[in-house]
Amino acid sequence: MIRHGFIDIQQNGYIGVHFSSMDLTLDKVRKVTRYLVKAGTTAYCPTVVTGPMDMFRRNLPILAAAMRDKELKPHLLGIHMEGPFISPVEGARGAHPPEYIIKPDVDTFKRFQEWAEGNVVLLTLAPEVEGAMALIRYASENGTVVSFGHHLADDDIMKEAVQAGARLCTHLGNGMPNMINRHQNPLWWQLACDDLDGIFITDGHHLPADFIKVALRAKTIKRFIVVSDATEVGGLKPGIYHFQYHEVVLAPNGRIGFKDTPYLAGSSATMLECMNFLASLNLLSEADLWKVGYDNPLRLLGRRLGHQPSGAPTVVFKNNQFVLA
């Protein structure tokens, strides 16, 4: 099976460019997109995370303009908003700055969509926060896929959210406190729910191999989606960087963590690297690897890709790994 790359629906930035930075420009979006296409990501969702309202007002129109751009349009599937409607509780909010987290609100989301020219196709929120159910219903009814993420919802709330239209779990297995009740926690219900797809960061740092194996059995090939969750320090040299209001350390092995803590701060991996780590676990055939890294995210968004522009690399599977040709 030969294709031109993978689909990434959670891409925060790369090579020094952050889609939630106040210095984002159309040329920087172009820089990231060209790099990713050459690295084996044929299309992606630029992901904007929790930040000041001025950032959304400024950056969403830039990303909307990128989606009208002749060169970039084939590679941009729509905007993923991860926040700001998430849990403010430490441990659940992850790297998101608490001062910019706000309660879910339909009118605020409408404003975001106006700035984005209707291009917000994926919204990650916390379903237990006041106002979430109304927003889930509105967004789902108007073409945006709603996902659970950075939340502490109980089973009843998650069930209600699925009935309201939620369809996905963002970076399942991450974005939650390290210490949880062994039975009463958000993880098991999300894994068990057959009405929810799950997106998983298979970079070799976010999830251990045994969890990935269990998640594949729970979600099956049909509902398992690989993402990179890559950040702006991806593609840079190992070192200490200021990222998302914190200092982070990019280690030689690619792991990104908050300085002087054991906590992860996103990924430095490309989709090719995530797919090769997954392939190394010998859990999936080549055909099934393409499903979780290409077919499933497009199905979730209701999208199909047209012809690939000339010059894009071909991705082939040889000796149990994907390589660029």
Round to whole Å and give the CA distance between 240 and 230: 16
**Of 69, 210, 229, 288, catalytic:** 229
Nearest to 198 by CA among 168, 173, 241: 168
Please give the share of the chain, as a percent, with pLDDT higher than 90: 85
**Residue 156 catalytic?**
no
**Residue 310 reports pLDDT greater than 70:** no
**Residue 175 reports pLDDT greater than 70:** yes
**Residue 237 reports pLDDT greater than 70:** yes
Say what the pLDDT of residue 178 is: 80
Q: Could you give the count of Cα atoms lying within 13 Å of 267 in the half-sphere of its Cβ?
A: 26
Say what the pLDDT of residue 136 is: 98
Confidence of residue 95 (pLDDT cuts 50, 70, 90): confident
Measured CA distances, 271 to 216, 224, 231 (Å): 18, 15, 12
Say what the pLDDT of residue 81 is: 98
User: Which residue has better confidence, 190 or 311?
Assistant: 190
Write down the mean pLDDT value for the chain: 94
Say what the pLDDT of residue 307 is: 62
**Residue 258 reports pLDDT greater than 90:** no
Say what the pLDDT of residue 263 is: 81
Residue type, 266: G
Q: Are 158 and 148 in contact (CB under 8 A)?
A: yes
Q: Are 146 and 172 in contact (CB under 8 A)?
A: no
Round to whole Å and give the CA distance between 297 and 310: 23
Mean pLDDT within 120-149:
98
> Domain residues of the chain, as ranges?
6-307
Architecture category of domain 6-307 in CATH: Alpha-Beta Barrel (3.20)
Say what the pLDDT of residue 1 is: 67
Confidence of residue 278 (pLDDT cuts 50, 70, 90): very high
pTM of the complete model: 0.96
Please give the angle made by the CA atoms of 318, 280 and 320, to the nearest 5 degrees: 15
Q: Are 264 and 256 in contact (CB under 8 A)?
A: yes
Is the bond leading into 84 cis (omega within 30 degrees of zero)? yes
Question: Which range, of 35-49, 72-86, 203-217, 304-318, averages the lowest pLDDT?
Answer: 304-318
Question: Which range, of 53-57, 145-149, 208-212, 240-244, averages the lowest pLDDT?
Answer: 240-244
Say what the pLDDT of residue 244 is: 66
Say what the pLDDT of residue 304 is: 85
**Residue 177 reports pLDDT greater than 90:** no
**Residue 303 reports pLDDT greater than 60:** yes
Confidence of residue 309 (pLDDT cuts 50, 70, 90): low
User: Which residue has better confidence, 68 or 94?
Assistant: 68
Round to whole Å and give the CA distance between 212 and 281: 9
